[in-house]
Chain A
């Protein structure tokens, strides 16, 4: 069983922020204003509006996304991601009847990963907690980015899967850096580049987003493809179900007692 590789890939899947839109499948494109006419602030405003608007995005208190993940033949898994404000995240991956759990409350994190032979919760590495905290922003880093302490820089325009996109460098308050690509016509996100830690090493990761559908008035990508630099495999996440504001008890994100009888 190549479960370990899948679990690594699962960690990467956490890199998909909630409520982003893909341009390629987001319906008819509207005419795009000239790039020079828009500041990065204006582009992001349009992006937030395209997702469904600030009011609807802010109304999301909890989120559950369920679906399937595969990284090629015989590497099929069921995945569920739960997010709760302010920075709680819980990721479950089921492969061949075995379910592993990865949880973070933004400051602490733990995993219970039978794929590694673990039957007791273990703390997540510091790097993983930092990444989980970054990724658990339920509304995504572009919403209220100034208030959150992030910095944006418009790097220009670049084609993504054949469509023109704004290329924006996002420097998170934590120091992490991503490059986000927003479609120049729909203002929806089509791609995100970041550096992730995989097996203890930095790896350039590219995520692309598609098949947007709205739930509770907010558009969510239903297909996410994740590729790591220099690797032939692509991990594909198909989100079958999005639930906005499902009841998520606080103890789902609490540190499980290691070694408890």
Chain B
């Protein structure tokens, strides 16, 4: 289990609230290694910084943070410009949509273009920016246009049917290879288990001849069992008994 994946990057939508929250300075949270989050810090504890990036909230573990820099971000500029615009100002919203798009603020760009579209439902630039495609005289979504053109969705990507078949064939080949590897692993595990059972039987017989086994039980095969620690690994192998960390069947 990767705690980080459980705890962090819970990105959820809160567009209007995020965009319109006012009076808060933008912040930049730099991770060790160079990645960065730009937005507004909502909260900070000893273990977690929560930052609103304008399209949702991200939790960043403090242990990975190199520094936090307070400052103005493109998100602030968008907010200020949006607040200054009248609802009917199509040119203003258009300019803001272009600017947000060029600033990498897709959520804000989407909002601005939707304002334009509400006023001008057939505006080609707004339609295009929001992913609409004109086909046979009517606007359709990007996905609808792909379907209309014969594309199919495979693995989250749109592609031709022929390409999808190639991807599926590749996936099937990968699966077959993995199944073969799994069977080979299983055979090896079975062999090892059989050897260990034989060893245990032999040991039990030997110990029975010597002393009371319960007073001299080796941690090797007592409470520690065969899953003795010593080979920590996140890689797992699947057996008939379930999934377990690799290299725990045959401690050496």
Contacts and interface: CB of A to CB of B under 8 A. Distances in A.
The answer to whether A and B come from one shared complex is yes
Interface in A4-35: 5
Given A119-B8, A201-B170, A256-B32, A232 B151 contact: yes
B35 A101 contact: yes
Interface string B158-170: 1110111011001
Contact of B162 (A119, A230, A233): A230
Interface stretch (A68-76, A174-182, A186-194): A68-76
B228 interface: no
A132 interface: no
Contact of B110 (A74, A97, A118, A232): A74
A189 B68 CA distance: 43
B21 interface: no
Interface residues of B, number: 54
A119 B4 contact: yes
Most chain B CB atoms below 10 A, which of A95, A99, A113: A99
Interface string A90-103: 00101111111101
Contacts of A72: 131, 142
B104 interface: yes
Interface in A60-91: 68, 70, 72-78
Contacts of A95: 104, 106
Contacts of A78: 103-104
User: Looking at chain A's contact residues, is the secondary structure mostly helix, strand, loop, or mixed?
Assistant: loop
A73 B130 contact: yes
Contacts of B240: none
Contacts, number: 129
Interface string A172-210: 000000000000000000000000000101000000000
B34 A112 contact: yes
A229 interface: yes
Nearest to A100: B35
Contacts of A101: 33-35
Interface in B33-63: 33-39, 53-56, 58, 60-61, 63
Interface in B103-144: 103-107, 109-110, 128-131, 142
A230 B164 CA distance: 9
A67 to B, nearest CB: 10
Interface in B155-191: 155-160, 162-164, 166-167, 170
A76 B101 contact: yes
B128 A73 contact: yes
Interface of B: 4-5, 8-9, 11, 31-39, 53-56, 58, 60-61, 63-64, 73, 75, 101-107, 109-110, 128-131, 142, 146, 149, 151, 155-160, 162-164, 166-167, 170
26 contacts: A1-B56, A5-B157, A73-B130, A74-B106, A74-B107, A74-B109, A77-B104, A94-B36, A97-B53, A97-B75, A97-B105, A103-B34, A110-B33, A112-B35, A118-B4, A119-B4, A119-B60, A119-B64, A121-B33, A201-B167, A201-B170, A231-B159, A231-B160, A257-B32, A260-B32, A261-B63
